[in-house]
Structure 1
Amino acid sequence: MSGSNSIKKVAVVGATGHVGAPMVAELLKTGKHSVTAITRKDSTANFPSGVNVARVDYSSQDSLVSALKSHDFLIITLGVRVPEETHSNIVKAAATAGIPYVMPNVYGYDILNEKLYGESVYGAASFRSINDVKNAGLNYMVMCCGFWYEWSLALGEPWYGFNIKDKKVVFFDDGTTKINTSTLEQCGKAVAALLSFPITSEGSGKPALEDWKNKPLYISSFLINQRDMLDSLHRVMGTKDEEWSIEYQPSEQRYKTAVEDMQKGNMLGYVRSLYSRVFYPTGDGNFEANRGLANEVLGLEKEDLDKVTKWVVDKIEEHGGSPFSVNML
């Protein structure tokens, strides 16, 4: 810990991943932070200029502690296939290294919505990650950003229900349930803005990092439904409903079937269950209605839905399919 009232040194696990990379990019843009990428010793990843690289053995506390010492904040981004103990090992090392603040590997919907997280296949893992931080005596800050828009739109039917290449969509219920969703870039900007605040307030009413200590940070790019997404695709692609295959599935039934598939070892069942549950017509996916958003306080600019949708369409045409890999889960 630097001893000043600002976050100067930030360590990032997963710095080249689809979640971590935009965070690193935006942190570097501020010019206020020294960023260290924590990575495996055998990693062949290419890191951006200006990033310090610490190669570690994730099973070794000595290795992790050595890499994390003198940092003020730790961001953890891990895929769902990473062994459960990896997160707890990292957090234990952070405590030993003296890092006071951790953004755990919890990105998604409202962690204060007990019913949603109780029924979500991601819920137990999320609370384990938060408890790792609590049990280590550290402070957590969880980013509640919804699903990532471009990732979820591009990857295919199990996610937001779209197969853009073949012009097919499955609407959950009638396709009009609105949810909060964020771009990966917006998440990066939110982290950079948050860590650029003073740690404690420097004046009445002025925002500070500790305003979100042991709390969720709610941000969102768009509050939209599947119908809005299809309309955006129409505007970008110059298509109409008649040119698409549109199917309808009850969200609750889709969720139950997906859980059964997941229990049989089907990874896409995990994805379908995760997304279907958020689209229940109960308002669970619209966290801004009850919690509000920190967008304005963070200085996040309003984004253009069609611009992001066009990026997705262009990348699918360029790659012949999704620009994202399912193996990145």
Structure 2
Amino acid sequence: MATGFAKDQPAGSKNYVENIAVVGAGGQVGKFVVEALLANGKHKITALTREGSKNVIPDGVSIKKIDYANPSTIVEALKGQDVLVYTLAVTATNEAEILQQAAADAGVKWILPNEFGSNSNNPEVNKDVPLGLAKTKLRQHIEGLGVSSWIGIACGFWYEYSLSAGPWSYGFDIKNRAVTFYDDGTQRLNTSTWLQTARGVANLLALKVLPDDENDKSPHLSQFKNDFVYISSFKLNQQEIFESVLRVTGTTRDDWTITNQPVKERFAVGQQMLQSGNRSGFGLMLYSRMFYPDGPCLHPRDDNVVLGLPQEDLDERTAVAVKMVEEEYFEKHVVPRVSGN
């Protein structure tokens, strides 16, 4: 990866990324990312999909078929691409390594790996929930190949998804008007909507790669090389989320069943569920751990201004979550993906 200033690069070098390949372009966050990239109008987007994929790819996106059992198809699809963005299931580490190796073989300079959450490089959290360890290994794999640089999208939990998913995530059972607060419900965290996350990716990839010269202090892609970019819609706690839910639903606290549970006790319940073979215990562990008093889901910095991201309306996004519950989004769109149906 060239470093320094654009003025010092070889003649004919371009100081921007143009060609972006996306894996998961029809997925939960991937479709928003692709739409935001298209809206920016600065890139040529290619979706890499398996044969037989039923995901709907937006108009304006080229499609190339790939086969993970035949990595040469991925290398061929990635030739000429400046960036690889992939959004896979967190368990798909083998596929992720295949993609990253193919990107190196094809000479892709930038990879946005499957982060899209809190900073996964937190050793204390990784002791309790080792999800971040797998992500760390993938980042190390990229660096070890020595061709591509990575940028991790640290956006916290997805707001509408986490609010609508049920009591195991943000503690809300909107359908049955019940909420469980972790401790007293005042531990804050950063959380992002799908739209804000997608805008962040699109605006990041619209940055120039290098500063023009030593006097150019404007944001550039290389300042995030092998690092995280921190995106957020809201910095808030469960109590503040609850107040928004009350406004949106036109209800009062008296209309709800309110419970408090020690956050470490809730984490232990998730552990016990997982150990007994109930995989939903992992979600309970993951979310409750992020509400610990050490604030692991609070960003160390805010890159919203650097990326030109707007301040979103909390109640507007809460209303989206409430509608998702009413329309049974989780049951219709998430459970089938997880179960493979």
For this structure pair, what is the TM-score category when the shorter chain's length is used for normalisation? over 0.9
Q: 2:40 aligns with which of 30, 46, 52?
A: 30
Q: Identity across aligned pairs (percent)? A: 38
Which moved further from structure 2: 206-215 or 195-204? Answer: 195-204
User: What does 1:1-329 align with in structure 2 at a 5 Å threshold?
Assistant: 3-82=13-92, 84-137=93-146, 138-203=148-213, 204-287=216-299, 291-319=300-328, 324-328=333-337
Q: Are the equivalent residues in 2 in contact too, given 1:121–1:274 (CA < 8 A)? A: no
Deviation at 1:202, TM superposition (A): 2.2
Q: Is the 8 A contact 2:97 2:141 kept in 1?
A: yes
Matched to 1:30, the amino acid is N
Q: Structure 1 residues 324, 240: CA separation in 2 closer, same or farther (over 3 Å shift)? A: farther
User: Could you list the runs of 4 or more consecutive aligned residues of structure 1 that deviate by over 6 angstroms after TM superposition?
Assistant: none
| RMSD (Å) for aligned C-alpha atoms | 1.7
Q: Which moved more, 1:316-325 or 1:182-191?
A: 316-325
State how far apart, in whole Å, the 2-side matches of 1:205 and 1:172 are.
43
The one-letter amino acid of 1:294's match is D
- Tell me the SS of whatever aligns to 1:110: coil
Q: Give the superposition deviation at 1:54.
A: 0.9
Unaligned runs of at least 5 residues, structure 1? none
Question: Scaled by the length of structure 2, what TM-score is found?
Answer: 0.91
Determine if contact 1:7/1:195 at 8 Å carries over to the other structure.
yes
CA contact (8 A) 2:188 2:237 kept: yes
Kept in 2: contact 1:179–1:286 (CA 8 A): yes
Give how far 1:45 is off.
1.8
Return the offset for 1:123: 1.6
Report the AA paired with residue 189 of structure 1: R
Q: Which moved more, 1:259-268 or 1:62-71?
A: 259-268
Question: Where do 5+ consecutive residues of structure 2 fail to align?
Answer: 2-11
**Paired residue total:** 325
CA–CA distance in 2 between the matches of 1:178 and 1:256? 21
Secondary structure, counterpart of 1:175 in structure 2: coil
Secondary structure of the 1:93 match is: helix
| Cα distance, 1:321 vs structure 2 | 6.5
TM-score by length of 1: 0.94
Cα distance, 1:224–1:327 mapped onto 2, change above 3 Å: farther
> C-alpha distance in 2, partners of 1:188/1:316?
22
